């Protein structure tokens, strides 16, 4: 079966982006001063800042909440700087295999400067996530082994975008850590996309505050799997198009 129309758009966009990148600096995602790649790099980091503000509660929503909820809000905003340094980390370690050690390292980086103990696989059951009961602690390593296999192997007939989309969801529903699972999933997804020659993605639109969670929550409903994929395709394409614009303007 040939590639779908949407996957052809993703690949065509990526080819256009790479041509611009090669013409500008001949250098991939290296951070260099006063270069077009640096313009893209800086733009992505700024959008990750926006992503965090969009996908976490607003200060106004915390009125009347308990101290624990407010403390978590403050932790989320301490996390912003860790998120950006984690993006640096996945660029610097782009040649590493994305195995469990790397996923744990990404989670550990995300937890820096927060009260969360990073890089620790949970050893207790947790409540339902996205209408699905996460696996018991003794099954986490098996689930993560399967996820890492997907990240490390070429699956005939499977597009990298589809692998990224599935792995993103699988990490979230596995809940390998006590917290920051969605954030870890997004960073792992980005490292995988970059390794496969695609641009990273970011959820920087106000509507993502509802559409992202709705797509995840409804994935297992009738028609939900395709709706989730379509939403993630849309995010990939809009990020590609924006970074093409940023790169074009900086040449």
> According to the 3-state scheme, what is the secondary structure of 43-101?
HHHHHHHHHHHHHCCCHHHHCCCCHHHHHHHHHHHHHHHHHHHHHHHHHHCCCCCCCHH
Cβ neighbours of residue 153 under 8 Å, at least 6 residues apart? none
Q: Are 194 and 120 in contact (CB under 8 A)?
A: no
Q: Predicted confidence band at 3 (pLDDT cuts at 50, 70, 90)?
A: confident
Give me the pLDDT at residue 73, please.
53
Band of the pLDDT at 34, cuts 50, 70, 90? very low
Q: What's the pLDDT score for residue 54?
A: 85
Confidence at 116, pLDDT banded by 50, 70, 90: confident
pLDDT value at residue 66:
54
Q: Given a cut of 50, is residue 60 above it in pLDDT?
A: no
Structure-derived torsion over alpha carbons of residues 222, 225, 228, 232, reported in degrees to the nearest 10 = -160
The structure tokens listed for 104 are 């744990």
Write down all domains in the chain, each with its CATH number in brackets: 5-250 (1.10.3290.10)
| Range of weakest confidence among 36-45, 122-131, 182-191 | 36-45
pLDDT (0 to 100) of residue 16:
95
Looking at residue 202, its pLDDT comes to 96
User: In which band, very low, low, confident or very high, does the pLDDT at 52 lie, cut at 50, 70 and 90?
Assistant: confident
pLDDT for 20 beyond 90: no
Average confidence (pLDDT) over 44-59: 79
- Compare 131 and 236 and report the one with higher pLDDT: 236
The pLDDT assigned to 89 comes to 95
- Rounded distance, CA 224 to CA 156, Å? 25
Query: Given CA atoms 173, 112, 213, 126 in this order, what sign does their dihedral have?
Result: positive
| Alpha carbons 59 and 50: distance in angstroms, whole number | 15
């Amino acid at each position: 079966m040939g590639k779908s129309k949407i996957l052809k758009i993703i690949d065509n966009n990526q080819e256009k982006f790479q041509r611009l990148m090669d013409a500008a600096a001949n250098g991939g995602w290296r951070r260099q001063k006063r270069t077009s790649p640096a313009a893209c790099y800086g733009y992505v980091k700024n959008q990750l800042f926006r992503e965090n503000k969009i996908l976490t509660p607003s200060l106004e929503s915390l009125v009347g909440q308990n101290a624990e909820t407010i403390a978590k809000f403050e932790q989320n905003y301490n996390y912003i700087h860790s998120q950006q340094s984690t993006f640096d980390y996945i660029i610097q370690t782009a040649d590493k295999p994305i195995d469990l050690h790397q996923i744990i390292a990404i989670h550990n980086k995300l937890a820096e400067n927060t009260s969360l103990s990073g890089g620790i696989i949970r050893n207790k059951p947790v409540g339902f996530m996205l209408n699905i009961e996460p696996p018991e602690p003794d099954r986490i390593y098996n689930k993560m082994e399967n996820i890492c296999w997907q990240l490390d192997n070429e699956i005939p007939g499977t597009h990298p975008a589809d692998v990224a989309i599935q792995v993103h969801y699988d990490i979230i529903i596995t809940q390998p850590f006590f917290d920051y699972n969605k954030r870890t999933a997004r960073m792992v997804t980005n490292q995988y996309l970059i390794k496969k020659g695609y641009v990273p993605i970011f959820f920087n639109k106000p509507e993502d505050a509802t559409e992202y969670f709705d797509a995840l929550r409804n994935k297992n409903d009738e028609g939900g799997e395709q709706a989730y994929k379509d939403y993630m395709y849309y995010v990939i394409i809009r990020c590609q198009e924006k970074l093409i614009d940023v790169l074009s303007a900086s040449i």
